[in-house]
Amino acid sequence: MSSLSRLDSSSSSSDDDDELILSALHIAHTQYKARNVPRWGGSVVGREYIHRDRVGGAWRLYNDYFSENPTYGPNFFRRRFRMGRSLFMRIVQAVEQHDDYFVQKREGNGRLGLSCLQKICAAYMMISYGVPADFMDQYIRIGESTVVESLRRFVRSIIEVFGDEYLRSPNEHDTARLLAIGESRGFPGMLGSIDCMHWEWKNCPTAWQGQYTGHVHKPTIILEAVASQDLWIWHAFFGLPGSHNDINVLHRSHLFAKLAEGEAPQVNYTINCHSYTMGYYLADGIYPKWATFVKSMKSPLGNKKKYFCQAQEAVRKDVERAFGVLQSRFAIVRGPARFWDKETLREIMTACIIMHNMIVEDERDGNEDFRYDGVGQLVRPSLSEERNRTHEFHEFMQAHHAIRNVQTHSQLREDLIEHLWQRHGDMY
């Protein structure tokens, strides 16, 4: 055989080998994709079909809670759904209009599918009671995989429809109201209280458990929140591993992003003949000595400092109360999280906070009025869309250092000690 023929035969054999390798890779990739595609129910050979009587379940749910003369009245509805029926129906209508998944349709065989109330109530019961997905089959007549899909779509719709309104940063009107509340409680310039909460992650992947395990000795995910007296949560930053502490979370959150960029409403108030231009939050001892935090003292000496510590610790419990109410309304964030992906957990926590704020607004006393004389002078309204934005880098750095000013922190606390003591003397 000549050298040319041997070359041709070797090249053809190498081409055949390449084709075999490519074919094997294609088959392996196809099998991998088939294994990782989520297998929903439907017509599967060998799987038992369960006749759940969906229509009967839908009618039973409607007659029990949503008809003109329901079996269970408004008090039972408020107790079991954690909110009034008018607010719940507002959420149902908004979610149904936003996501076509919740619109009732007919299946290919002509049977009527699940109603919007069945899907949303099943998802909401998982959130409010923390029950597993297959528990919904007994009353609402809905399968486990459908409940999980409904939950994911429900919380995503809540965020997309109501997130901008009910999880917003305080605007001029909100800031004026918060400052008026703080003034009435003896803390001029206060915008709320800040703290962190841990949510246990039961199904945390084994490879991540060391990263997500901290002082709780179980994998957890941290929520940083700011709350006001009425338990409205103004700031929520969720997702950092439980091995972090409050300081690590603070350095990664967006709490002071608008303030550093000059987009936050400008606050102006005077305490003990000293003027200040930034609001502050009440915090516990772990937080740093910044101009935007007011902390208590470990060993206060003298009646003035003791009274200040008592007042600060009493008002700072607003955020602790908000965490307690959030967990009591939505048991899913009180018990261990059973989902595997962190994105779903983030959406569940965010949706719970949004619905919590909606309930606070719906049940807020309309007669409450914190518009005291002169409160409008504390907040400077924005005259243009650009506000006082830091267009230059050095302006941003100046605002950044002003937020972290230790001298301002110490001066502010001393002024508050004197202010509270004078207020205490005037009251008695």
- Residues β-bridged to residue 213: 219
Give which of 75, 125, 168, 403 is closest to 262, Cα–Cα.
403
- Which of 111-115, 337-341, 347-351 holds the top average pLDDT? 347-351
Q: Residue 385 has what pLDDT?
A: 44
Residues in the chain: 428
pLDDT of residue 75 exceeding 70: yes
Query: Would you state the pLDDT for residue 28?
Result: 60
Confidence of residue 266 (pLDDT cuts 50, 70, 90): confident
Residue 2 reports pLDDT greater than 70:
no
Q: Is the pLDDT of residue 230 over 70?
A: yes
Query: Of the candidates 409, 408, 403, which has an alpha carbon nearest to the alpha carbon of residue 256?
Result: 403
Q: What is the pLDDT of residues 125-151, one digit of tens each?
A: 999 999 888 888 888 888 888 999 999
**What average pLDDT does the segment 265-292 reach?**
92
Please give the Cα distance from 333 to 322 (Å, whole number): 13
Task: Kindly tell me if the per-residue pLDDT of 220 is higher than 70.
Answer: yes
Q: Report the alpha-carbon distance of residue 104 to residue 81 in Å, rounded.
A: 22
Average pLDDT value for residue range 172-189: 92
User: What pLDDT score does 391 carry?
Assistant: 62
pLDDT over 80 (residue 153): yes
Q: 364: closest CA among 79, 95, 87?
A: 87
Whole-number pLDDT of residue 294: 95
Task: Tell me if 224 sits within 8 A of 251, measured CB to CB.
Answer: no
**Better-predicted residue by pLDDT, 270 or 262:** 270
Q: Give pLDDT, residue 42.
A: 52
- pLDDT value at 8 more than 60: no
| Residue 374 or 14, more confident | 14
Closest C-alpha to 349, from 75, 163, 115, 119: 163
Provide the pLDDT for residue 218. 92
What pLDDT score does 253 carry?
A: 93
Quote the pLDDT of residue 3.
45
Residue 383 in this model has a pLDDT that exceeds 60: no
Work out the burial of residue 367: count CB atoms within 10 Å of its CB; fewer than 13 is exposed, 13-18 middle, 19 or more buried: exposed
* Contact in structure between 381 and 268 (CB atoms under 8 Å): no
Half-sphere exposure of 9 (CA within 13 A, CB side): 6
Residue 243 has pLDDT above 80, yes or no: yes
Concatenating the DSSP letter of every residue in 189-256 gives TEEEEEEEEEEEBTT--GGGHHHHB-TTSSBEEEEEEEE-TT--EEEEEEEEETTS-HHHHHHHS-TT
Q: What percent of the chain has pLDDT over 90?
A: 61
Q: Which residues of 217-255 are buried (b: 16+ CB within 10 A; e: fewer)?
A: eebbbbbbbbbbbbbbbbbbbbbbbbbbebeebbeebeb
Residue 44's pLDDT band (cuts 50, 70, 90): low
On the question of pLDDT at 45 being above 70, the answer is no
Closest CA to 304 of 424, 222, 185, 384: 424
Give the number of C-alpha atoms closer than 13 A to the C-alpha of residue 213, restricted to the C-beta side.
Answer: 11
The chain-wide mean pLDDT, for the chain, equals: 85
Domain ranges of the chain: 54-165, 172-427
